[in-house]
Structure 1
Amino acid sequence: MRPISKIVNYSMANRGKIARFLPAQDLTADDIQLLDKMRAVARARQDDLDRQDVDWGLPVQDALEQLVSGRADSTAEWAGSAYYAALQIVIDHNGSDMSTLASYRSPITVFTTLDDQLSTAGVAADLLPSQYIFSGPPSEIAFRIPRPLEGSPEIGCWPMQQAGPAIKAYREVLDRMDPDLRYELKELIGALDGWYSEWADGEGSFWWAEDTSVFFSVVG
């Protein structure tokens, strides 16, 4: 039996655009249409889970309705998975298209090991990757959303202002990394720099926003 892998995806989104749905207040007509699309995707996600006989004790569409009403208070043991699945739907509908960083048997093991090597090489603690890839929802969401019990799905949020210093620090120590992790770090640098360069160069454009962030999604 092959080990189950987890896929690490990433996208770019504005934290404020996501938070305006959590809770949903003063929505525009366009926002209401977007929320209707989210609801349809949440129902489809639950249908897919039902076909797999996966029961989180809270349907994804119900988790979404709770989030947009400003709460996440289900007592179901696996409710965190439903809440994070619903939150990811909100992120997806307010951000860029998603790209894939990599697939790992244990992403947390890879990135904490990378943390250790980067730290040894002198990279500051607030720039280490595991603390943003697995950071959870953006702080602009004013209520607590329970985490999934086994860390899947998982969500991370990294403000663009911090991505720039991280990219610089990673490049400075890249040659000192263990060869087995050098490729992983190069991929992470590329993922961060693709969005950071666009954001940094686009300041003053109509789409630019100070609260733009890289969002990570770990699924599998």
Structure 2
Amino acid sequence: MSKVVNFSMANVGQVVRFVPAGDLTADESRRLDNMRLDAKERQDDLDYQDVDWGLSVPDALEELVSGRADSTADWAGCAYYAALQIIIDHNASDVSTLASYSSPVTYFSALDKALSEVGVPTDLLPYQYVFSGPPSEIGFYIPHPMDGSPEIGCWPLAKAAPAVEAYRAVLDRIDADFRYDLGELIEALDGWASEWIKGKGARWWAEDGSMFFSITG
């Protein structure tokens, strides 16, 4: 079964504003209400599939917005990550799909190796940001899903621009098996990095603009 890698852009501060949520504006409160509706819808879908994580997505969302993630259920990490992704989605751009892979872990590990071999610096390799987990600005530990799905990654757009430059410089030297997918990654990073760089000073711009990745399936 393939896993789909999606991406979007959001300001980390806006996401973390809800984890935990306190002193929300009227607009943020409406956004939280919509998150709760989406969490219920996600749980309804899981119930239909007879999937039981030991913690419901709505309950996971309520824990996160209360500033905790302390369920001891074995599969609670799946619920927490699903709930966190809902928070991200309600503070981010429209979601786009990068690609689907039978094993994203295997693919991005191999891509890291191939990029390293042609001189891309370690701090620009993709595995670290596609699989980084929740934003480090969240002040408490969120359990990781046991089977690695759903997965979350976060990377500052300030680092995306040099990564695009480094990837383009080696695109014709990397193993041919990676060129198409690397080109897609370059396009995804460059699309948001370029807009972020050009938009500095605009009302929507924020220094903590970041690419968010999600892996589902």
Q: Indicate the TM-score class for this superposition, using the shorter chain for normalisation.
A: over 0.9
Deviations 1:126-164 (A, max 9, x none): 110000000001111111101101110000001011001
C-alpha displacement of 1:36: 0.5
Answering whether residue 125 of structure 2 is matched by residue 123 of structure 1, we say: no
Answering whether residue 190 of structure 2 is matched by residue 210 of structure 1, we say: no
Which of 30, 44, 47 aligns to 1:47? It is 44
C-alpha displacement of 1:110: 0.8
SS in 1 for 2:171: helix
Answering whether residue 12 of structure 2 is matched by residue 9 of structure 1, we say: no
Deviations 1:24-77 (A, max 9, x none): 011111111110000000000000000001100000000000000000000000
Aligned to 2:54: 57
TM-score after normalising by structure 1: 0.98
- In structure 2, what is the Cα distance between the partners aligned to 1:200 and 1:153? 30
Aligned to 1:179: 176
- What is the one-letter code of the residue matched to 1:133? V
- What is the one-letter code of the residue matched to 2:17? R
Aligned to 2:105: 108
- In structure 2, what is the Cα distance between the partners aligned to 1:160 and 1:103? 23
Q: In the TM superposition, what are the counterparts of 1:9-88 in structure 2 within 5 Å? A: 9-88=6-85
- What is the one-letter code of the residue matched to 2:65? V
- What is the one-letter code of the residue matched to 2:99? A
Runs of 5+ unmatched residues, structure 1: none
Answering whether residue 166 of structure 2 is matched by residue 169 of structure 1, we say: yes
User: Aligned pairs, how many?
Assistant: 217
SS in 2 for 1:156: strand
TM-score after normalising by structure 2: 0.99
Q: In the TM superposition, what are the counterparts of 1:93-104 in structure 2 within 5 Å? A: 93-104=90-101
Aligned to 2:134: 137
Deviations 1:165-211 (A, max 9, x none): 10000011111111111111101000000111111111111111000
Runs of 4+ in 1 over 2 A off after TM superposition: none
Aligned residues with identical type, % of pairs: 69
Q: In the TM superposition, what are the counterparts of 1:182-193 in structure 2 within 5 Å? A: 182-193=179-190
SS in 2 for 1:100: strand
- What is the one-letter code of the residue matched to 1:14? N
- What is the one-letter code of the residue matched to 1:163? A
